[in-house]
């Protein structure tokens, strides 16, 4: 299989519309169009194309991986987030314990006889 040099097939490619991104490695911020496409060996020594942080000496790679949009509300054109978390996980909280957590009603023992 040839190395696909098609930017649109790379899940870690920068968005079509540039956005301000920050690098987790060097903590620099820059526009996403500055992310560089470079061929470097991966951990297995296989030459691969990477989207790399443009900051000299920084090893940050991959939009949505080491390089993330600065704005957490950012969405790409297809509506997906560059962030890893999925906010749709938050509604599954029907595993409540049946513990009564309301305090018992206060006992009224101020049964004072009113001296008429």
Binding interface with Zn ion (CB under 5 A): 23, 25-26, 53, 55, 58, 60
Measured from the CB atom, is 34 or 55 closer to Zn ion?
Answer: 55
Measured from the CB atom, is 4 or 33 closer to Zn ion?
Answer: 33
Residue that is written with structure tokens 């018992």 in the block: 104
Question: For residue 8, how far is the Cα from the chain centroid?
Answer: 21
Tell me the Cα Rg of the chain: 27
Measured from the CB atom, is 23 or 68 closer to Zn ion?
Answer: 23
CB 85, min distance to Zn ion, A: 21
Q: Which two tokens stand for residue 8?
A: 């649109």
CB 67, min distance to Zn ion, A: 7
Burial of residue 46 (number of CB atoms within 10 Å: 0-12, 13-18, 19+): exposed
CB 9, min distance to Zn ion, A: 23
């Amino acid at each position: 299989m040839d190395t696909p040099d098609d930017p649109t097939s790379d899940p870690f490619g920068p968005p079509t519309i540039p956005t301000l991104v920050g690098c987790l490695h060097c903590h620099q911020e820059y526009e996403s169009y500055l992310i560089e496409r470079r061929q470097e060996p991966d951990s297995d020594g296989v030459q691969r194309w990477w989207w790399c942080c443009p900051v000299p000496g920084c090893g940050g790679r991959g939009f949505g991986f080491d390089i993330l949009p600065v704005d957490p509300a950012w969405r790409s054109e297809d509506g997906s987030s560059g962030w890893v978390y999925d906010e749709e996980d938050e509604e599954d909280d029907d595993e409540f314990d049946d513990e009564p957590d309301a305090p018992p009603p206060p006992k009224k023992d101020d049964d004072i006889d009113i001296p008429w």
